[in-house]
Each structure stands twice: as C-alpha cells, then as structure tokens.
Structure 1
Amino acid sequence: MESHRHLQPIRLCLHQHHDAPSHRAHGAHFEAEFHKSLPEVNMLFGAAAITLGYSNLLIVPTANVFGRRPVIIVCGLICTLANIWQGLVTSHSSFIGARVISGLGAGANESIMPMVIADLLFLHQRGKSMALYFWSYFMGLFMGPIISGAIASQISWRWFPQLQLPLNSSKHPASQPIPWDATPKPRPRLTITTSALLPKGKLSKSQLCFLPRVRFDPGSFLRDILSPLQILFYPIVLWASLTMGFAANALLALNLTEAQVSSPPPYLFTPAQIGYTNFAFAIGAAVALFTAGSFSDWITLQRAKRNHGILEAEFRLPALVPYVFVNLVGMTVTAVGYQRGWPWEAVVVVGIPAVAIAYATDCYKALPGEIVIAATIVKNTFGFGMIFFFNDWAARQGYIAPVLLLMVLTVGSSIIGLALFIPFGKTFRRMTKDSTLHTL
C-alpha cells in the first residue's frame, strides 16, 4: 500500500509530457515543410510551454472546487483533441494553435501531481515521491524526442501525434480507480497528533466517485487564482521557483540546440539520431530518481534524530550539494564539447528541482499547488523568452557563453539558497507565519 501511494502521483504523468518537446528532434522537417527558420520552429515548443505555465492559474482553483480526478480527466481529453489537430495541420499558424491547446491540457500535470503528493504523504516521505514525480515529468520530455525522431525518419512526423491518441485515451479509465480525494474541502491550519499518524480507516464512496459534490465559493476561487502571485513574493518560494526554473531551462538550453549542433558537421545526425541523444538525458534522470528523493529524505530524518526528533524543513537542503556540483561539471563539459565538436554524450541532473520544490512544500504544507504554479510560471516564462534569443546567440558567438549562462544561473541560485536558508530559513518562515494564505 505504501509503494502504491508513492506511485499514484506519477502514474498519469509519463506519457502526457511526451508531446511537449517531441518536435525538437525533427526541426529540419518543419523548416522545409513550413518554410520557417529554426527560432520560428522552436515557437512550436514555446507556444505549448507558455500556455502550460499560465493555464495552471485556472487549473488549480478548478481542482480545489471539483476535485483532482475530474480536472485530470478533462485535461487529458483536451490533449487528445490537440493531438488529433496536430496530426492534421496544414500551416505553421494552425500548428501553433494546436500547440496552445496541447499546453492547456498538459498544464494539469505540472500542478495537480504535487498537490496529490501533499494530500497523500507525510513530510518525511515527500522527497522520494517528489523525485519520482519529477523523474516521470522529465522522462516524458526526454522520451518524446527519441520516439518522434525515429517515427519521423522512418514514416512521417504526423504519425507521432496519432500515436499519442491511445496513450492519452488510456488515461481516462486508468485514473478512475485511483483513490484521490475528489471531494473539495477547506484547508485549515493542521495540528498533527500521534493518533493522526496511525494507518486506519478505508476509502469512502465519495473518494472513488468521478462526479464530486461541488462546493463553489467565488471568493475562495478568486483567492486561489491570486494566491500563486502573492506567494511568489515569499523568499523561500521565490528561491525554489528560480532554482527549479533555471535547472529546468538548463535542460531546455540543451534541447533547443541539439538539432542546431547535431545536424551540421561533424555529426550529420538524422532526426532519429538527434532523438537518440536524449538517452543521455534519460540516464541522468534515472540516476537522480534513485538518489535525489531518497537521499534528501534520509538526510532529513538523520538530522531530525540529532535534533531530538524535531524535524525542520531546512534539514533537506544539504542534499542539493552533490547535484549542484554535477550540474556545474556537466554543463561546463557540454558547453565546451558543443563548441569543439566533442562526442555528444551529456549528463543532465533532475535532483535540483526535486529537492528545491520539496523544501518549499515542506515549508508551506497547505499550499503545494500554489507553489508549483509560481515555479511553473517562472520556469516557462523564462523558457519562452529563450526561444527568441538562444539559438541566434549560439549561432553568432558559439555555444560556450549561452550554455554557461544557464549553468551559472542554476548553480548560483542553488548556492545562494544554501547559504541563506540553511542558517536562516526558519526566520524567513516566521516572517510569513501570520499570512492569510495559510488558511485558504
């Protein structure tokens, strides 16, 4: 039962994120078919990314009113319709429209799953499950280009959206038996006692029901929309959002340039081979899965034991150190290797966003959805902006400066957070303890 609870938040995530980055593996096909430049082709990703980020301002309040399951199923249906549209497009502008709708549906996977983790798991269990969620999230991003590149080389890129149809359709019945709490309820300030930790009771019929009892409060709905923007000004949440955003966009920097680097000499890769380079990212994600979450949970519990059994959210932060170091080395090697034509293998780290978001969720346990919305808005807005300058900058001045910029932002923000929040994190939490957001 325990492992089942850890798997629930990611069972529905893996395949829905195949679609978002998949088109980057065959940018040359789009350039030829639609007569567009590489930055214009990258807008296919940007349109989905920016919609995905800001759609959560409506998705999370709706999930608080109608429940998690109905929102996930409706968003899955939206993705299914978007896949049909993408397979039939005849122009670049129509393709952009389909990508916008696709981002609207995929947005639920960036916000609902961390909310489910906070609903189901205790504080000392969340690091492992959050790492599992981020692993499924990034594995979808990595596997999409691998599959779509092979399909584009052997058949046609239009077959990949059609392949997504049965995968998205399978989500709808698969989500029905998952025992999420579909009944909206207020989120008061909680006092946990020993008896609350005892595993007892069973699921009610309402928890397994697709159509929940709706409790709509216009005031609460409006507060749910505005609260992610308000919580972004909390120092801890702002730091976690920036750290997650920079780490995720470090991956985006490599994805945006993979066709630009691999298509010309000395590599001369086909779309399928460009997609296969994402296996290197997948290996890095697998390493992070087996280390980041469990490692941060273990460190948290060990430090709590030395603190007379009192667990503080800041105990999780030292787990960031090895991933910051690996990001520093991996991004530096990649930047120099791109510039000098080294072998294409690269190491990518998923551990940084997993630990950072888990720490912010530990600090503000009642606001997991709002925290992820804030982080997603920062991440996707920055990533959307990269589309307009990153490839042109790399073409003009080489790959070292733009890739190392993302490395410096990722490593720098992580080090600042470690130096600031390990000794003073509790002080920052006290500064916001009386906020009305805790009683939403």
Structure 2
Amino acid sequence: MPTHLDDEQVPGTVYLVDVKGQAGASMHDASHKDVVLVPRPSADPEDPLNWSHQRKIMAVSMTYLYVIGTGIATSLQYSVLPDITRDTGISTANLVQGTGVMFLFLGWACLLWQPLALTYGRRGVYLISMLLTVPVMVWTAYSSSSGEWFAHRILIGIIVSPIESLPEVTVFDVFFAHNRGTYMGLYVFILFGSNFLAPLVAGWFNDAYGWRWTMNFGAILCAVCFVIMFFLMEETIYFRDTTIEGKDLDESDKYAMAAASDPEKAFIEGKIPSLNPATTRSDNIPSLSPGSTADHNAPSLAPPSENMDNIPTLSPPGPSSAGAPSFTTPPSDRETIPSLQPGIQSKTASSSIEKSDASTSHTTAKSRRAKYAIFTALPGRPSNMAMLRMTYRPLLMIPALPTVLWSGFLYGINLSWYNVLNGTTSPVLSAAPYNWSAALIGCVYTGPLLGAAFASLWAGNAADWLALRLARRNGGVREPEHRLWVLAVSGILSAAGLITWGVGADAGVHWIGLVFGLGMLTFGCVTGGSIAVSYNVDCFKEIGGETTGSVMVIRNTIGFGISYAITPWYTNQGLQNCFITAGMVSIACTFTFLLMIKWGKSLRRWSIPAYRKFVATTAVQHE
C-alpha cells in the first residue's frame, strides 16, 4: 500500500472531499459543504477565483462568444462544398484537404499565441484573433483557385488558433477543480456545436444568397462578436505567487506562502520536503487539509487553527523557526484580511485592501480601464525572453509527460472522426440516391448538434459528479483518472455512429438513420475531446497552459492526417468497409482509457522529475 508521502508526491492527486469535516469553512465550496476548494483562492478580491458568480459567468460567456464567432466562421463551407466546386472548379478533395491544413495550423500556431496570452493576458489575444478573422473571411468569399483556397485556410488556421487552447486556460483561471469539468464540457460543446450549427445556417444562406455571401456572413458575425467582446470581455490573467497583502515577496516569503496556499505545488517545486504532517514542521508550514489515516491514504490538510476567520500572515522569524519565516494567526487587535469565500468581500477585507500599496499589488479594486485594457503587464509576468522560450517548451513536454501524450492522442482520434463527418456528409448527401440541396444537407447537422449537447452534459456535469463520488469512496482523494470512466459509453457510441453512418449511406437507408448515426458519432467526439482536455489539466495544473498547447499540437496533427486521407480512403475502399474499419479503430483507441485507469497514476509518478523541472523553470511562475 502506498504511503501518504507517495500519494502526495503524485501530480494531480488532490484532497478534494473533506470526508471528516476537519477543514475550515473557508476552504469549502458554498454549495458542497464537504468539497475542498482546489486551488485555494487568495485573499485578493481581484483573484478571479474570488469573483462573484455573475462576474465569472460573464467572463466565461465572452470566451464562449469568441468560440462561437470563430467556430461558425471557419465551418461555413462544409455544407456548400459542391457549390464551391461547381463555381470555382476547385475539387472536393482539395477543399477537404485545405480544411485539413487549416486544422494543422490551428494546432501548431498555439505555440505562438499561448505564450503571449500567458504573459500579457487573454483578452488581447482573443480580440486580435477575432478582428483578423474578418478580412480573411472576406477573402474566402473571393476564392477562385486551389492555391488561393489553401493560402487562406493556412492563414485562418494561424489566426484562429487560440480557439484550440486558450478557452481552457480561461476556465482554469476562474473555476475550481470540482466544477471545472462542467465549464470545460460546455466549452467543447460550443466548439463542436458551432462547427455543426455553421453548415446548417450556411445551407439555407447559400440557397438564398450564394456561397460567397455565406462567407461574407461569417465576416459580419466576427465583426459583431468583436464589438461585443471589446466592451464586455474582462481580463482573467492573475499571478498568485507574486504578491501577498499588497507587498512584493522576497524569496523566503514566497517559499513560505507557497507552502501555506498550495502545498502540492510547494512540494513539486522542492520548497518543502514533504506534504506529510509527520515530516513537515507545523510551526513553519501550516497544513491545509483534513487529517488522514493510513486506511484511506488521504493527505493531511488540517487547518492551522479551528478558527478560519483570519488567514495566517507572515511574521518575522522567531527562535523556534531557525530563521525561516513562520505563519501565525494575527492578534485580534491587528487589522487583517479575513479568509474570503469566492465572490464575497467583507468590510474588514475591503478596509485592509484599501490600505495596501496599490502600486505593487492588485488588492485594490481594478478600474474599468484596467479591467478592459487590451493587454495587461502585471508584476511577476514572464520576461520577453522567457515568453520566447515558451514557444517550444510544449514540444519538450510531449515525450517527458506520458499523460499529456495520451490526452493529445485521445483528442486527436476524436477530432479525426469529426473531420470524417465533415469530409463525407456533403459529398454523400449531394449524390444519388439522396441528391440533396445545400440547405437540406445543412439540416442533417441537427443530429450532431443534439449529440454534442448531450455529450457536454455527460462529459461535464456527469463526469464532475462521478469524480466527486469516487473521491468520497477514496477517502476524499480525487485522482484525474476518476473522470475517465465516462469514456466507456462514448467509445461504444462513437464506433456505433461511424458504422451506422458508413453502412447506412452505402445502402441508401432513410436519412433519419444517417442523422441518428451522426448524432452518436458526435456524442463520442465531444465527450472524448472534453475528457482529454480536463484530464490533461487535472494531471499537471501548474503547467496546464503549456501542456494544453502540447495536446493541441498532437490533436491537430492527427486530425490533419485523417482529413488528408479520408476522401481517397472511402473512395477506394467504399463507404461500408471504410467506416466499419473506422469504427473498430475508434473503439480500440478510446478504450485505451482502461490502461490509464490502471497505470495513469504510475505514469504521473514516473513524471515527477520532469514535472518538477518544468514547474521550477516555468516562465509564468518564476520569471
């Protein structure tokens, strides 16, 4: 049986449920009294984790609006491929392969956008990306050759790349671990759903105005979204390691504060020797979670005192601390910042915050101008050289962190079937025996849209509920692998959907059967993508922004390969044999989650040296 030290060393293993009720009330979620807040919010009301629920929803809604605008604009072509071919002479194969190239650059350009967003803020990247999409969509409307089609597909892939990796970071900015999956699932639903809604709208728009004005509609939509985002999207970037009560921390203070606010991270960085209370000096580093016993292997997070009204503050080192800063509960006659529930700021906190040094912290309420600046230069941000290094670090993480590699593989396989759907729907339904118009072809995407909606509930709410339930059964300890069990259903439905679509289309079955098959396929795609992203962040939260870029590089490289191959694949092998093969490949790949259930934690434990190195040198935390 692993020891407490073994459990606590493993990245991603967190004490999520206070099964014995020993944590202070300030560490609990308001709606789930036994759920421990991970990560623990700071006392700063401008910490996005402390925002009100309404403010959080507004922030994530603007992110979703970005996904809707760019997602629809870049997917309008799927139901009008025959019309584009007829008007321009560009072959269907080239149109589909051009979309595959777009997906390739969507993944790799994350290496350019993500460092900028992690250094100077998310808002500016979202706005610039949305604005630049407008002229490229106008150019798309005037395409006349294959070379031109490939050129603007490459350009739009680079411009819209933040859609792949930045929304995950925004969700991580404002939500806690126990409900992050819900909003991640909603993001993936909107990502795929916008791609399915676009062909439906484009079909009818094409019949009324032609395919060129359909592309112009995408440009208009992006322009409108840009205006809304410019006035309503708030910056969510926040560096928790750089300030405490308005003061810049020296190195020893940073170490002590890290130990108090996030012991898992402090251990990974080597700032404390252990997370086990038996081996960690309580006079220097207060533990943060309920006590545990060997029978359930739960890490100890006991609060430093029963009264959690006041958070510990740094005091000068006393004789017992051997020169190291210690944490003490401040006397009642001192003005302190009490522990805050997310989104709640007490009068005492407000009073203390107003007296802090505004020039060196963010503890005062930000002005509207600061909230809505295009870019934000916060203290503690990476240097420009460090930002440059972040462009290649995600590539180094792929071989060093096996769970990141697997997350990218899982997401890539599911993206592949999405590309298969879009690459075959229009050619199949526009030919005999269906002979459908673009408008009717667009209506078929109602099935995938509904499948994506159900998948967002399954991969979000249901997966979060399952993770909490399994954590309670595991003595309060949540493993990232707990949410993988939902893939058992999606893996089967994805394979069934592929076979139903391919065999049904080959046999000329009634269209309702095809819609049903596409719905099942989409359920699997969206669930797989959502779980892959959530699992990746759960495993390595301290470098989640960079590992998300790693996942997207893998995902879109696989997607590009399938997009490039799908047209000759089903043309040469036939729809029936092609999609039966695809269904078998799909279920085999998805059910590799069973290997991760068994060995995922061992792989995370094996990754500790590499993870510690990446965290210790991460530009976001230390430059």
Range class of TM-score, shorter chain: over 0.9
Aligned to 2:307: none
Aligned to 1:369: 545
Given the alignment of the two structures, is residue 198 of structure 1 paired with residue 341 of structure 2, yes or no? Answer: yes
Given the alignment of the two structures, is residue 12 of structure 1 paired with residue 66 of structure 2, yes or no? Answer: yes
Given the alignment of the two structures, is residue 336 of structure 1 paired with residue 503 of structure 2, yes or no? Answer: yes
Aligned to 1:359: 535
Aligned to 1:212: 376
How far the C-alpha of 1:127 sits from its partner, in A, is 0.9
How far the C-alpha of 1:413 sits from its partner, in A, is 2.2
CA separation of 1:112/1:172 partners in 2, compared to 1, >3 Å: closer, same or farther?
same
CA contact (8 A) 2:90 2:145 kept: no
Deviations 1:86-138 (A, max 9, x none): 22334332233222222222111111100111111111111101100000100
CA contact (8 A) 1:78 1:101 kept: no
How far the C-alpha of 1:55 sits from its partner, in A, is 0.9
CA separation of 1:129/1:361 partners in 2, compared to 1, >3 Å: closer, same or farther?
same
2:582 to 406, 427, 431: 406
The higher radius of gyration belongs to: 2
**Equivalent AA in structure 2 for residue 303 of structure 1:** L
CA contact (8 A) 1:263 1:269 kept: yes
How far the C-alpha of 1:183 sits from its partner, in A, is 6.0
* Distance in 1 between residues matched to 2:340 and 2:434, nearest whole Å: 56
Aligned to 2:155: 101
* Distance in 2 between residues matched to 1:410 and 1:370, nearest whole Å: 27
How far the C-alpha of 1:216 sits from its partner, in A, is 5.1
Given the alignment of the two structures, is residue 437 of structure 1 paired with residue 491 of structure 2, yes or no? Answer: no
CA separation of 1:380/1:293 partners in 2, compared to 1, >3 Å: closer, same or farther?
same
CA separation of 1:186/1:260 partners in 2, compared to 1, >3 Å: closer, same or farther?
farther
Deviations 1:212-236 (A, max 9, x none): 1275524422331122112222211
Given the alignment of the two structures, is residue 180 of structure 1 paired with residue 180 of structure 2, yes or no? Answer: no
* Distance in 2 between residues matched to 1:389 and 1:209, nearest whole Å: 44
Deviations 1:366-420 (A, max 9, x none): 2333233222222222222234332122122211333234333332222122x22
The secondary structure found in structure 2 opposite 1:22 is: coil
* Distance in 2 between residues matched to 1:273 and 1:416, nearest whole Å: 37
CA separation of 1:369/1:410 partners in 2, compared to 1, >3 Å: closer, same or farther?
farther
Given the alignment of the two structures, is residue 155 of structure 1 paired with residue 209 of structure 2, yes or no? Answer: yes
CA separation of 1:175/1:184 partners in 2, compared to 1, >3 Å: closer, same or farther?
farther
Given the alignment of the two structures, is residue 92 of structure 1 paired with residue 235 of structure 2, yes or no? Answer: no
**Equivalent AA in structure 1 for residue 56 of structure 2:** R
Aligned to 1:286: 453
CA contact (8 A) 1:78 1:104 kept: no
CA separation of 1:71/1:287 partners in 2, compared to 1, >3 Å: closer, same or farther?
same
**Equivalent AA in structure 2 for residue 71 of structure 1:** V
- Structure 2 counterparts to residues 233-252 of structure 1, below 5 A: 233=399, 234-252=401-419
How far the C-alpha of 1:279 sits from its partner, in A, is 1.0
**Equivalent AA in structure 2 for residue 327 of structure 1:** S
* Identical counterparts, % of pairs: 23
- Structure 2 counterparts to residues 2-81 of structure 1, below 5 A: 2=53, 5=56, 7-8=60-61, 9-81=63-135
How far the C-alpha of 1:284 sits from its partner, in A, is 0.4
How far the C-alpha of 1:197 sits from its partner, in A, is 7.4
The 10-residue stretch of structure 1 (239-248 or 361-370) with the greater mean CA deviation from structure 2: 361-370
How far the C-alpha of 1:23 sits from its partner, in A, is 1.2
CA separation of 1:376/1:402 partners in 2, compared to 1, >3 Å: closer, same or farther?
farther
What RMSD over aligned residues (CA atoms) do the two structures have, in Å? 2.4
Deviations 1:130-169 (A, max 9, x none): 1000001001110111111222222211112221233212
* Distance in 1 between residues matched to 2:187 and 2:372, nearest whole Å: 22
2:394 to 214, 228, 235: 228
What is the aligned length? Answer: 439
* Distance in 2 between residues matched to 1:372 and 1:410, nearest whole Å: 23
* Distance in 1 between residues matched to 2:151 and 2:240, nearest whole Å: 36
CA contact (8 A) 2:419 2:563 kept: no
**Equivalent AA in structure 1 for residue 235 of structure 2:** W
Aligned to 2:603: 428
CA contact (8 A) 2:125 2:162 kept: yes
CA separation of 1:60/1:197 partners in 2, compared to 1, >3 Å: closer, same or farther?
farther
CA separation of 1:424/1:207 partners in 2, compared to 1, >3 Å: closer, same or farther?
farther
The secondary structure found in structure 1 opposite 2:392 is: helix
The 10-residue stretch of structure 1 (291-300 or 86-95) with the greater mean CA deviation from structure 2: 86-95
The secondary structure found in structure 2 opposite 1:267 is: coil
How far the C-alpha of 1:56 sits from its partner, in A, is 0.6
CA contact (8 A) 2:420 2:563 kept: no
Given the alignment of the two structures, is residue 311 of structure 1 paired with residue 478 of structure 2, yes or no? Answer: yes
The 10-residue stretch of structure 1 (59-68 or 331-340) with the greater mean CA deviation from structure 2: 331-340
- Structure 2 counterparts to residues 267-282 of structure 1, below 5 A: 267-282=434-449
* Distance in 2 between residues matched to 1:69 and 1:17, nearest whole Å: 18
* Distance in 2 between residues matched to 1:60 and 1:377, nearest whole Å: 12
Aligned to 1:295: 462
CA contact (8 A) 1:246 1:409 kept: no
* Distance in 1 between residues matched to 2:138 and 2:241, nearest whole Å: 38
CA separation of 1:261/1:3 partners in 2, compared to 1, >3 Å: closer, same or farther?
farther
**Equivalent AA in structure 2 for residue 198 of structure 1:** Q
**Equivalent AA in structure 2 for residue 226 of structure 1:** Y
CA contact (8 A) 1:87 1:159 kept: yes
The secondary structure found in structure 2 opposite 1:409 is: helix
How far the C-alpha of 1:174 sits from its partner, in A, is 2.7
The 10-residue stretch of structure 1 (127-136 or 178-187) with the greater mean CA deviation from structure 2: 178-187
The secondary structure found in structure 1 opposite 2:591 is: helix
1:125 to 173, 179, 184: 179
**Equivalent AA in structure 1 for residue 559 of structure 2:** G
What is the TM-score when the length of structure 2 is the normalising length? 0.66
The 10-residue stretch of structure 1 (195-204 or 234-243) with the greater mean CA deviation from structure 2: 195-204
* Distance in 1 between residues matched to 2:97 and 2:213, nearest whole Å: 20
* Distance in 1 between residues matched to 2:476 and 2:566, nearest whole Å: 48
* Distance in 2 between residues matched to 1:168 and 1:225, nearest whole Å: 27
Deviations 1:221-259 (A, max 9, x none): 233112211222221111111111111211211210112
Aligned to 2:297: none
